[in-house]
Amino acid sequence: MQNLTYTLVIPAYNEGARLAPTLERVLGYIARHECDAEVIVVNDGSRDNTADIVRSFAQDHPWLRLVENPGNRGKGYSVRNGVLHARGRVVLFTDADLSSPIEEVPKLLQALAAGADIAIGSRWLQAELQTKRQSLHRQFFGRIFNLLLRITLGLHFKDTQCGFKAFRQRAALAVFPLQKIEGWGFDPEILFLARKVGLKVQEVPVVWAHDGGTRINPIADGARMFVEMLRIRWYDLSGKYNPSSPQPQPVKTLPEVRGPNV
């Protein structure tokens, strides 16, 4: 199967109201910049017309693919499923609401070109880049969660939860097959695994705007993510992140990322 330069993964659950404008913007960006890229939308068991929207766009855009989950499994499962279907030497994922605009992609690519294995968008490295902030109570719970991450998992990033991240292919293949968290708490797990296997992670300030339609409940989902944080620590201590068999590797050695061409 043909190898590409970039794969963009978009996890989607009941995104019928937002997905069409997102695909128009993403596919238009790829066409304008003549990117050697594919877009994978992972349908997480949606009950609306999410899959039909993707199929409709794919008729005119052969570089758009639909991947179906076996039912509603969660954002973490969706991202992993998309990443493991990717053909790009660089794999990115972004939220369906494009809270970080697609035009911010070159910032992540520049970090990879400078030597990072993984580049993660950050809302808090330069908070002034936020065009629409979360409510104060969401910010408060976010800061508490970040503090717990530092204490429990030793992750000293300003922002682990921004849904805008890029991976060299070899980095993606090193961490995603080991991923076990299928819900919202998968981001810290991926970063924890990256550190465990010795990958370089660069935090990158990006433009970001809060979407009022977000489905995350800061209390209920925050409590669930805290439990998942403890599970990550337990999985590590019990050796569940030590693979018992060789992990998938790229079919062939691919050239290094030289820099953004978008």
pLDDT digits (tens, 9 = 90+) for 81-101: 999 999 999 999 999 999 999
Query: 110 lies in a domain?
Result: yes
Least trusted range by pLDDT, from 42-46, 117-121, 156-160: 156-160
Q: How far apart are the first and last CA of the chain?
A: 24
pLDDT tens-digit series, residues 210-247: 665 556 666 666 678 788 989 999 999 999 998 754 44
Share of the chain above pLDDT 90, in %: 68
Whole-angstrom distance, CA of residue 218 vs CA of residue 145: 10
**Number of domains making up the chain:** 1
Query: 81 lies in a domain?
Result: yes
Query: 118 lies in a domain?
Result: yes
Domain with residue 19: its CATH number is: 3.90.550.10
Give 2-36 as a 3 state SS string. CCEEEEEEEEECCCCCCHHHHHHHHHHHHHHHCCC
**Higher-confidence residue: 143 or 47?**
47
pLDDT of 260 strictly over 80: no
Task: State the DSSP code for 70.
Answer: S
Residue 86: domain span: 4-134+159-213
pLDDT of 254 strictly over 50: no
Query: 250 lies in a domain?
Result: no
Query: 20 lies in a domain?
Result: yes
pLDDT tens-digit series, residues 4-36: 899 999 999 999 999 999 999 999 999 999 999
Query: 193 lies in a domain?
Result: yes
Query: 230 lies in a domain?
Result: no
- Full-model pTM: 0.86
Query: 219 lies in a domain?
Result: no
